Amino acid sequence: MESMIDERLSPMELHEAWPALSAEERAEGFRMLPRDQAEDFFVQLETREQRELLLALPNGERRSYARLLPPDDLADIVQETPEEEREALLGLLDPVARKEVQALLAYKEDEAGGLMNPRYVRLRPEMSVDEAIAYLRKRMREPIEMVAYGYVLDNQQRLLGVVSYRSLVTAPPDKRVQDIMHGEPVTVPEEMDQEAVSHLFAKYNLIALPVVDAEGRMKGVVTGDDIVDVVKEEATEDIHKIGAVQALGAPYLQVSLLQMIRKRGGWLAALFLGEMLTATAMGFFEAEIAKAVVLALFIPLIISSGGNSGSQASTLVVRAMALGEVRLREWWRVLMRELPVGLALGGILGAIGLLRILLWQAASHCYGEHYMLVALTVALSLVGVVLWGTVMGSMLPLLLRRLGADPASASAPFVATLVDVTGLIIYFTCAIAVMRGVLL
């Protein structure tokens, strides 16, 4: 295929074309940028794109771009790199950076330690404001995380307090750092899960949080821009799970077809196996269907109503749990809400169903002489099935959490499948109860 890059693109044009380009074309277009524009362009790429671009560059250039990145981003890149290429990538770094990156690699990618930048501004409590500013001026050229705060540490590296640059800039020059610092900073334990870290950010509206170990020693800084990424990532994971897809972990258009089939085929086949129980359940009622074929007409309507109400309930509870609005011990409150809601929703659908059958019957007599029994069966079943779907859908995420699994696995299709079998049983049980001696 001919290269799509036939002329020098501006950074804007390259950015526009980026998603459609192959790795080689990207590197080609990137290398045509003037150095300063290339650096700006590189820094704003996503971690995954930075890695791919780095690996597509010739060795000499690779090194100088790798140095532009802070250790936490470098660690992410190394983590996403296949085992056998990692050493080569680490070899690009100077010894200090390499050591920092290796320390970060000891953390899991989705915990605070794996998100943090180990470079930050350290201040001592007895420094004056002027000394602190002078010290900052000296460290100016180093690539440390200087977003908004300096961190005040004692001799054992324990975090004593936080000083915002704002307060440094605005305080009288002869004040001491310990007099202007915020003495009880919110901290993040190094092994805290990234989702919990994002809750802390949202709660305290801070733009950076210090990460400390069990002894209160400061290990690094997590900044808000990392958290925006985390929040997006976690939401994407949850949304994929709600749709019964294994989390893709990469942009949709960049996942290979084989990967795509694997990430979807697993759940789809599992749901299919579960759904086979419906054929078994139907088998038990084959005689009833043979006697009253009219019953078969409403099967899709009944079971899909259970599935839909279950999807609604599970989606709401899964999201509420992810946002920390509902905790496991509140399952009872959830149940006490969903019971009346399920009953009301079932009642609404039941009434519509009843009306529909009576209207069609009046128009075309299509349901035979016992249409009233059919209508009653459908309406009753709808109440039961929707109530059941609502309760199952709302309790399943809580049950999964209780069992140590991810509540988001209670996907809409999973709940629908669970509810389908029971929906059939509810329907035919209603039918037998209502029609015994008449049609059945």
Instruction: List the interface residues with its own copies, window 36-95 (CB under 8 A).
Output: 43-44
Nearer to its own copies (CB atom), residue 82 or residue 283? 283
- d(Cα 314, Cα 361) in Å, to the nearest integer? 36
Amino acid at 3: S
Q: Which of residues 262-291 bind its own copies (CB under 8 A)?
A: 264-265, 267-269, 271-273, 275-276, 278-279, 282-283, 286, 289-290
Amino acid at 400: L
Nearer to its own copies (CB atom), residue 135 or residue 213? 135
Two tokens at 128?
């004056």
**Per rule CB under 8 A, is residue 354 in the interface with its own copies?**
no
Candidates 24-32, 52-60, 162-170, 395-403; binding stretch for its own copies (CB under 8 A)? 162-170
- 75 C-beta neighbours (distance < 10 Å), count: 27
Span between the terminal Cα atoms of the chain, in Å: 68
Amino acid at 27: A
Report whether 162 contacts 152 (CB < 8 A): yes
Q: Which of 224, 249, 358, 399 binds its own copies (CB under 8 A)?
A: 224
Q: What is the full DSSP assignment across 133-169? A: HHHHHHHTTS--B-SSEEEEE-TT-BEEEEEEHHHHH
* Residue located via tokens 């309790």: 395
* Residue located via tokens 């309507």: 301
Report whether 105 contacts 98 (CB < 8 A): no
DSSP for residue 82: -
Two tokens at 1?
């295929």
What's the full length of the chain, in residues?
440
**Per rule CB under 8 A, is residue 420 in the interface with its own copies?**
yes
Q: How far is the CB of 346 from its own copies (least distance, A)?
A: 10
DSSP for residue 436: T
Candidates 27-35, 77-85, 97-105, 217-225; binding stretch for its own copies (CB under 8 A)? 217-225
Q: What backbone phi and psi angles, to 5 degrees, belong to 300?
A: -60, -40
Nearer to its own copies (CB atom), residue 96 or residue 348? 348
Candidates 4-12, 49-57, 188-196, 224-232; binding stretch for its own copies (CB under 8 A)? 224-232
- d(Cα 391, Cα 12) in Å, to the nearest integer? 51
Nearer to its own copies (CB atom), residue 153 or residue 412? 412
**Per rule CB under 8 A, is residue 217 in the interface with its own copies?**
no
Q: Which of 198, 381, 409, 422 binds its own copies (CB under 8 A)?
A: 198
Q: Which of residues 364-393 bind its own copies (CB under 8 A)?
A: 366, 386
Nearer to its own copies (CB atom), residue 157 or residue 304? 304
- 370 C-beta neighbours (distance < 10 Å), count: 16
Nearer to its own copies (CB atom), residue 98 or residue 399? 399
Nearer to its own copies (CB atom), residue 55 or residue 277? 277
- d(Cα 132, Cα 146) in Å, to the nearest integer? 13
Q: How far is the CB of 287 from its own copies (least distance, A)?
A: 9
**211 closest CA partner among 143, 112, 277:** 112
Q: Which of 8, 67, 108, 166 binds its own copies (CB under 8 A)?
A: 166
Q: Which of residues 302-341 bind its own copies (CB under 8 A)?
A: 303-305, 307-309, 311-312, 314-320, 323, 325-326, 330, 333-334, 337, 340-341
* Residue located via tokens 């802390």: 200
Which residues neighbour 382 within 8 Å (Cβ) at sequence distance 6 or greater?
302, 305, 346, 349, 350, 353
Nearer to its own copies (CB atom), residue 49 or residue 102? 49
Q: Which of 1, 214, 253, 363 binds its own copies (CB under 8 A)?
A: 253
Q: Which of 56, 68, 207, 432 binds its own copies (CB under 8 A)?
A: 207
* Residue located via tokens 């080609």: 28
Q: How far is the CB of 64 from its own copies (least distance, A)?
A: 20
Q: Which of 115, 127, 162, 245 binds its own copies (CB under 8 A)?
A: 245
Q: Which of residues 9-38 bind its own copies (CB under 8 A)?
A: 19
- d(Cα 39, Cα 111) in Å, to the nearest integer? 29
Nearer to its own copies (CB atom), residue 5 or residue 349? 349
Q: What backbone phi and psi angles, to 5 degrees, belong to 123?
A: -125, 160
Q: How far is the CB of 213 from its own copies (least distance, A)?
A: 22
Number of residues that bind its own copies (CB under 8 A): 114
Candidates 2-10, 95-103, 152-160, 405-413; binding stretch for its own copies (CB under 8 A)? 405-413
Q: Which of 32, 147, 372, 399 binds its own copies (CB under 8 A)?
A: 147
